[in-house]
Amino acid sequence: MPSTNGDERPFCFAVLGPVRIWRHGTELDLGARQQRLILALLLANAGQPVGIGDIVEALWDQRPPQSAVNVVHRYIGALRRLFEPGLPARSAGRWLLGDAAGYRIRVDSDSLDLLLLRRLTDQARSDELAGRLPEAMAAYEEALGMWQGPCGGASELASYDHLAFSVVDHECADLAREATSLALRLDRARSVLPVLRRMAEHRPLDEALQARLLLALSADGQQAEAIALYENVRRRLADELGVDPGEELREAHQLVLRQSVAGSALPGEAEPPPGRAQADRAPSRTAVLPAQLPADLPWFTGRDEARRRTLGLVNGHVMTQVSMPVLAIDGLPGIGKTSLAIHLAHQLADAYPDGQLYVDLQGFDPEQSVLHPAEALQGFLNALGVPDSDIPASHHARSGLYRSVLAGRRILVVLDNAHSVEQVRPLLPGAPGCLVLVTSRKRLTGLATAHGAHLMTLDVLLPEDARRFLTARIGAGRTGTDPAAVDEIVERCGRLPLALAVVAARALTHPDHGLADIARELREAQGSLDGFADHDMGNDIRAIFSWSYRMLGHRAARMFRLLSLHPGMDITVAAMASLTGVPLREARQLAGELVRTGLLTEHTVGRFTTHDLIRAYAQELVHLHEDGPARESAAARLLHHYRQTAYEADLLLAPPVVLEPPSAPADVVTARLNDAAAAVTWFNADRQVIKAVVQRQIDDGRADPAWRLAVSLQRFLQGEGWWHDWAAMARSCLQAATAAGDDLGRAHMSRSLAGAEHVLGDNDTAARLLGQSLDLFEGLGRCREQALVHRNLGQVSVAQENHLDGVAHYERALKLFESLDDLYHQIAVLCCLADAHSFLGRPDVSTALAHRALSIAEALNDLNGQGLCYETLGKSFCAAGDLPASLASWTRGAEIYRQTGWRMNSVECLLHQGDTALTLGDPTGAHAAWQQALDLLSHLRVPQVQAIEERLARLETATVRPRGAR
């Protein structure tokens, strides 16, 4: 929607599709992905403030870097200068405003397509209610014509569906359904078909939207396509959700088959009226409004973000008045789902004056059977004034009557402790004025897919909220006197609300019992659940966890018990398969069973975790039901999984490792990795777990598997910048190997620790350790390892500016590798030699050596080797004074390293690329290269971060970046 009145409308914004901005009719380059995502988020909120936390969540989901807030501020500054070129640094400007509530963009319905769409939609509804149907249809068609795709193009910008975007998309789908309904009555289906088709493609499981498309196709004479569409949707629902089409879609299909779309009542609607005036006629209301909510907790604390999101969700739906908000809260046992839902319901009750309905669906209570929807519907209908004699026997008919009774009303419905989507679906009202809150131990994805529900997974309380929780329960007088004890209690409870409630009850029962005594009792329990026993079985943590455990099948229960043997915080399906000794497919099924009962959480795709107290419960069970040999066998299989996978991943990082391949039993499953990038991704995800596995081997006195696993991890830690972790692990393994009298382990770990000390800047210690390593390898007769140590000694010598000594070590290493016909390691040594000759003022020799290495790397198709060669050529050309060739080499090296996933190598190339670009008079190119490097280092504490930030700061001061630069 470019501007036609440049002076009156300097900016036009579009978010109904890919985010776009025009200034005086000229479209702007919006910059990098994250910058466009921030813009899309601000525009989707249509001038309302967006908190810094929301922006961080949109950019990085649940894993923001430590510098996230600073990065957001830099993007905001860049956007302000995009709107107003020449705006002084740190100035607010006129268009992108910030305050305590967050950031917002100044927009109105003349400048933002979303607000204009809402204005047109309100006009269309008003005309339709007044019986001005042609005028209403024209407004609907104009509004629909503004839709260009999913809100903000968010699916291409963000890694997950953000609430702000999904609210707008749902709003547009409601508009399309309403417009289609009127178009069918006016025999103008063709006018909405193009947009309806495109929207239905993006929402393939929106049954109401697909039903309207079905009817519109049939009304336009495309009967065969309508029938084929129904079959496609039916198959998709079965394959992806395991459900059959709902009543509305089935009714639409029947109308198409009877070829009686025209003049018929549309599915889900009354007889087609001339307008919508009749929609105001609602069933008579009960004399007593239902008010079934349980009492709110007087000491409810925390969950500020959850409450803010819920209020934003409800306000968004109330503003559009076209759809019913559904919020499904899930989380592990004891996380406080019910408490939050009831608290939210009490906060929102005034907005739903026709009453509140509540039911415990008993989805996970072992003492009671799961409540059938028909029984819940009977209770609801009775509360709404329908006598038993008027309630039909069929639960489908009951559901229809329930929706009819609620039509036109504003009712808040709480469906607590749901077992499944199927149990919830019949209890959903059809009226847009209602609100539904659902709680379940399961993540009810099917509700989001088929009914537009918003999903919220509860995590443990924030530390400060957990402290406030205890203070609210037992009083500030007791918590204020011993804050250290409070902090220990909070952490030993794992910030789980149920555990905190049990401890608070104990403190209230024994007022003379100090908090330090309670903290000591929890400490002495040593991670078990003994500190959380409660006489009330409804509050006892073991009992609560057991409700989910008893629902497991035999094999899933065994997997749950064995998971307590895993030393890391999260685990993959392949590791679970190895731990339990079952095939991968079965492990995946068993993991799904654990997730469905709330004992396991898939916190990222393919990676599962659980709460510390649930882990403690599993640990009790594994010692109760699995004997010592069974536990030892499981732990051995797990070790083999990580050793085998790490070895194979390291092979993909080339050149080949020098250790013999480990042998793994047949019932051990390894991760499937296809290339170096996949290997780096796996190492990044499992880095902490492998560290824990290594430490467990050391603690158990098994030095050999510990240092061998550490060797497989070394190259990744070096290349990704985890240098402090590398040093700590190598040091521990070296001590263990020395204590065990393992000379081979001492030799490898001395060399490994020397590498870590070198990159951290302690070259004297590195040289000493390498000398020890070389002596050991010579005594063991290991030629390849000796060559590696000589190469490392050359690198340390060059770092100490002993370039001739460096050349001597490199040449010794090269001869050894040539004698072994080891081409992969020759590449690295030739590049090291080239660097040394550059330092000695011999750029021609350096360039020749780098090209020789490149020819080997290309013959071997070794991408990492090629990246190293281009990195070396960049230095050689720079030493020779050929800056354009140097820039091209740095750029090519960075591109190759990005393909293979090598972070620190990419950073090194990008750093030099920016330096060279700036020397050649290209500040924009320099800024882009340095910013890319800084983004790669956002999670690390390495010296390069400060160096890059200083460069960017100097550039910011010296130049005003052109539009589009980051």
Give the model's pLDDT for residue 251: 87
Q: How far apart are CA 573 and CA 571, in angstroms?
A: 7
End-to-end Cα separation, the chain, in angstroms:
25
Mean pLDDT of all residues in 774-801: 94
For the record, the structure tokens of 174 come out as 């409601």
pTM above 0.75, yes or no: no
Mean pLDDT of all residues in 472-476: 84
Mean pLDDT of all residues in 293-302: 82
Q: pLDDT at residue 284 above 80?
A: no
Which of 86-95, 412-421, 820-829 has the least mean pLDDT? 86-95
Q: pLDDT per residue over 839-859, tens digit each?
A: 888 999 999 999 999 999 999
Give the model's pLDDT for residue 587: 93
The band of 262, judged by pLDDT with boundaries at 50, 70 and 90, is low
**Nearest in space to 201 (alpha carbons), one of 227, 178, 169:** 169
Q: pLDDT per residue over 871-894, tens digit each?
A: 999 999 999 999 999 999 999 999
Give the model's pLDDT for residue 3: 44
Give the model's pLDDT for residue 534: 55
- Strand ranges across the sheet with 26-27: 11-14, 20-23, 26-27
The band of 107, judged by pLDDT with boundaries at 50, 70 and 90, is confident
Q: State which of 41-55, 302-316, 672-686 shows the largest mean pLDDT.
A: 672-686
Q: pLDDT per residue over 317-347, tens digit each?
A: 555 555 678 899 988 888 889 999 999 998 8
Mean pLDDT of all residues in 919-942: 85
* pLDDT greater at residue 938 or residue 217: 217
H/E segment holding residue 20? strand 20-23
Q: pLDDT at residue 966 above 60?
A: no
Give the model's pLDDT for residue 590: 93
Q: How large a percentage of the chain has pLDDT more than 70?
A: 89
Q: How far apart are CA 746 and CA 768, in angstroms?
A: 14
* pLDDT greater at residue 5 or residue 8: 8
Give the model's pLDDT for residue 323: 61
Q: How far are the Cα atoms of 26, 147, 915 from residue 36, in angstroms, in the given order? A: 17, 19, 27
Give the model's pLDDT for residue 272: 40
Give the model's pLDDT for residue 537: 42
- Rounded to 5°, the CA angle 737-742-745 comes to 65
Q: pLDDT at residue 279 above 70?
A: no
Q: How far apart are CA 857 and CA 823, in angstroms?
A: 8
Give the model's pLDDT for residue 657: 65
Give the model's pLDDT for residue 385: 87
Mean pLDDT of all residues in 382-403: 84
Mean pLDDT of all residues in 641-645: 94
Return the C-alpha torsion angle 752, 754, 758, 764, nearest 10.
Answer: 180
The band of 660, judged by pLDDT with boundaries at 50, 70 and 90, is confident
Q: pLDDT at residue 932 above 50?
A: yes
Helices (H) then strands (E): counts for the chain: 42, 13
* pLDDT greater at residue 721 or residue 705: 705
Q: What is the mean pLDDT of the chain?
A: 84
H/E segment holding residue 558? helix 554-563
Q: pLDDT at residue 241 above 80?
A: no
The band of 256, judged by pLDDT with boundaries at 50, 70 and 90, is confident
Which of 358-362, 852-856, 941-945 has the least mean pLDDT? 941-945
Q: pLDDT at residue 472 above 90?
A: no
Q: pLDDT at residue 777 above 90?
A: yes
Contact 434, 585 (CB under 8 A): no
Q: pLDDT at residue 298 above 90?
A: no
Give the model's pLDDT for residue 676: 81
Give the model's pLDDT for residue 728: 94
Give the model's pLDDT for residue 288: 65
> Between 247-258 and 223-241, two packed helices, what is the crossing angle to 10 degrees?
160
Contact 892, 863 (CB under 8 A): no
* pLDDT greater at residue 99 or residue 503: 503
Which of 42-46, 52-56, 130-134, 835-839 has the least mean pLDDT? 52-56
Give the model's pLDDT for residue 270: 41
Q: How far are the Cα atoms of 176, 276, 905, 908 from residue 676, in angstroms, in the given order? A: 46, 61, 14, 19
Give the model's pLDDT for residue 663: 83
- What lies within 8 Å, CB to CB, of 846 at 6+ separation is 834, 835, 837, 838, 872, 875, 876, 879
The band of 90, judged by pLDDT with boundaries at 50, 70 and 90, is low
Mean pLDDT of all residues in 347-355: 86
Give the model's pLDDT for residue 1: 56
* pLDDT greater at residue 367 or residue 966: 367
Q: pLDDT per residue over 487-545, tens digit each?
A: 888 888 888 888 888 888 778 877 777 888 888 877 776 656 765 655 444 446 777 78
- What lies within 8 Å, CB to CB, of 808 at 6+ separation is 794
- What lies within 8 Å, CB to CB, of 897 at 6+ separation is 864, 867, 905, 906, 909
- By DSSP bridging, strand 570-572 and strand 607-609 are antiparallel
Cis bond upstream, residue 85 (ω within 30)? no
Mean pLDDT of all residues in 386-415: 84
Give the model's pLDDT for residue 531: 59
Full 3-state SS string of 37-77: HHHHHHHHCCCCCECHHHHHHHHHCCCCCCCHHHHHHHHHH
Q: How far are the Cα atoms of 574, 615, 706 from residue 629, in angstroms, in the given order? A: 22, 21, 21
Give the model's pLDDT for residue 830: 95
**Coil, strand or helix at 78:** helix
Give the model's pLDDT for residue 278: 33
The band of 266, judged by pLDDT with boundaries at 50, 70 and 90, is low
Q: pLDDT per residue over 210-221, tens digit each?
A: 999 999 999 888
